Structure 1
Amino acid sequence: MQVGFPFFINLACTGVIPTRAMSPHVPITHDEIVADVARALTLGVQMMHLHARDAEGVQTADPEPYGRLVEAIRALPGGRELIVGVTTSGRRDAGFESRARVLDLDGDAKPDMASLTLSSLNFVQSASVNAPDTIRRLAQRMRERGIRPELEVFDVGMANFARVLLSEGLVQAPLYVNVLLGNIAGAQPDLLQLAAILAALPSGCIVAIAGLGRFQLGANGLGLLMANGVRVGLEDNLWFDRQRSVEASNESLVQRIIAQAALWERPLMSRTELRNQLGMTI
């Protein structure tokens, strides 16, 4: 049990699916995303998971808007200590080449981390296609570029594939892992299912727990109980309550998890401490 130990928050503020029609609070434009990140920084958030959108508000793999976002975040108070991650999502494009372009950013535009989903999976209305060869090539490119993989695990099989990548030398310990619970075709926010995933992961992983939709609050609670941190944000859940009567914002979701953590006497760790645990320099 992790009660009493400092924890971290990974804020997934935009995602692929949420639109302005779904929620007025989801940040879509460059300025909106930067503003949400700035508010998160003042609350003590240590890690950021970014999805950029094009002029029509659609998820894009174009590295240019990601580079501008990362540069703008670095310029914020506390922005250089923040761990900034970008997506290589396979939900709109399964190919390696377009997904890998964001990994070639340099200088102040270069991200610290990039997502790496460890298998194909179905969501309610779409699929995320991640062929084994594509996963390996993305992992190899991240290693070559000095970008830490943000491993995404939805079930026990994906946890096992993390072991495979580690044995093949495509990823290096300590591994960072998001365990995402509540997907229709994945593990549910159940203590037994989470325990099976944690047992299947390589030893020494730094783990955040996320919950999709109405499962976010409960899954974050499991994260506070069983893991190093939590992932929270409008990418995963647009509502503050299970009855869907109160619209959430990224700020309100972060404030709630901090309040929840206080009951478990889990303070926020510093950004420097998280970087040290992950072996990252500023």
Structure 2
Amino acid sequence: MDKAIISVATTGGITTREQTPNVPITEEEIAEQAIASWKAGASILHVHVRDEDQLATCDPERYARVQELVRAEPGCDMIINMSTGGRVGRLTEDERIAPVRVRPEIASYDCGSVNFGDGVFVNSPQFLDKLAREMQEYGVKPEIECFDTGMIENAKRIIDQGLIEPPFWFQFVLGIRGGAPATVDHLNLMVNSLPEQSRWSVCAIGRHQLPMNAIALAMGGHPRTGIEDNIYYSYRVLAESNQQLVARVARLCNELERPVATPAETREMLGLPAFQPEA
């Protein structure tokens, strides 16, 4: 099996300080926990940013600031994956595409529409076509986020059009209301539906996070952890930080004999160019 690629989702677009005081909100807080998570074993930072009211935004200046702060850490070669999701139903398509123009190595590509909590997360075929073309133009690798099996079929059609190139990087989002449940049966179906030359990761919501991380590792996939998806470390015990969650998953990788991939090894597996430190 491959070495394990650990992604950390530090903030998300929904988690509030009322739910947990430990969610990083400002660009400085996000970068601080991202760097600590890199030191704990995460090679990919999946990042959302917030505005002055602590609401999710796709403001490219805020994304650029996070990237700048992470890159300022000596030796930090963490891969930055910017979300194009924003706030469900509250951003325009152009606002959602804006992070791509910051030229992160990876950006999220939500491959279809889904009921999301009390709203609808709309990703029309026309938007997906436009977003894929922007990613090609700016040299950004899509992280193909799939909330159910139908989104994998959407991805295959886009791949057949030549808009996404291999190797493909899929992120299965399990356990949200409106999406596929976080079960072994559903994960197995999704894995068996993938096109060739695919690698895949799993993020699962709330109490499903840790068991689905373990199952993914046992199946040859990769884990995503972080406060975006789950604010707890154990039953009714809040996670102290993102790096605490990453450190646990790194230990789990080693126990399951899936050594943790470095960012350099992750780039090689995902077909990304070698890291070039900024001068």
Query: Same fold judged by TM-score > 0.5?
Result: yes
- What do the CA deviations read for 1:133-183 (whole angstroms, capped 9, x no partner)? 111110110011100011101111011111111001111111111111112
Report what 1:154 is aligned to: 147
User: Matches of residues 199-218 of structure 1 in structure 2 within 5 Å?
Assistant: 199-218=192-211
Report what 1:270 is aligned to: 262
Q: Return the offset for 1:12.
A: 0.5
Looking at structure 1, the residues matched to 33 and 75 of structure 2 have their Cα atoms a distance apart, in angstroms, of 14
Looking at structure 2, the residues matched to 260 and 279 of structure 1 have their Cα atoms a distance apart, in angstroms, of 26
- Of 132-141 and 180-189, more deviation after overlay is shown by 180-189
1:100 equivalenced with 2:97 (yes/no): yes
Report what 1:88 is aligned to: 84
Report what 2:45 is aligned to: 48
Residue aligned with 2:224, SS: strand
Q: Return the offset for 1:126.
A: 2.7
Q: Percent identity, aligned pairs only?
A: 33
**What is the aligned residue count?**
273
Report the AA paired with residue 88 of structure 1. Answer: T
User: Matches of residues 86-165 of structure 1 in structure 2 within 5 Å?
Assistant: 86-89=82-85, 91-93=88-90, 95-105=92-102, 110-165=103-158
- Counterpart selection for 2:26 from 25, 29, 43: 29
Q: CA RMSD in A?
A: 1.5
Report the AA paired with residue 219 of structure 2. Answer: M
Q: Return the offset for 1:213.
A: 1.1
Looking at structure 2, the residues matched to 153 and 30 of structure 1 have their Cα atoms a distance apart, in angstroms, of 27
Report what 2:245 is aligned to: 253
Q: Does the Cα contact within 8 Å between 2:20 and 2:238 map onto a contact in 1?
A: no
Looking at structure 1, the residues matched to 246 and 40 of structure 2 have their Cα atoms a distance apart, in angstroms, of 8
- What do the CA deviations read for 1:180-199 (whole angstroms, capped 9, x no partner)? 11122222222221111111
Q: Return the offset for 1:92.
A: 4.0
Taking structure 1 as the reference length, the TM-score comes to 0.92
Looking at structure 1, the residues matched to 221 and 264 of structure 2 have their Cα atoms a distance apart, in angstroms, of 15
In structure 1, the gaps of 5 or more residues are: none
- Counterpart selection for 2:163 from 159, 170, 188: 170
The structure carrying a bigger strand percent of its residues is 2
- Of 202-211 and 10-19, more deviation after overlay is shown by 202-211
Looking at structure 1, the residues matched to 90 and 139 of structure 2 have their Cα atoms a distance apart, in angstroms, of 24
Looking at structure 1, the residues matched to 60 and 158 of structure 2 have their Cα atoms a distance apart, in angstroms, of 26
Report the AA paired with residue 263 of structure 2. Answer: R
Q: Does the Cα contact within 8 Å between 2:6 and 2:261 map onto a contact in 1?
A: no
- What do the CA deviations read for 1:36-83 (whole angstroms, capped 9, x no partner)? 01101211211011111111211112111111111111121333x211
Q: Return the offset for 1:214.
A: 1.3
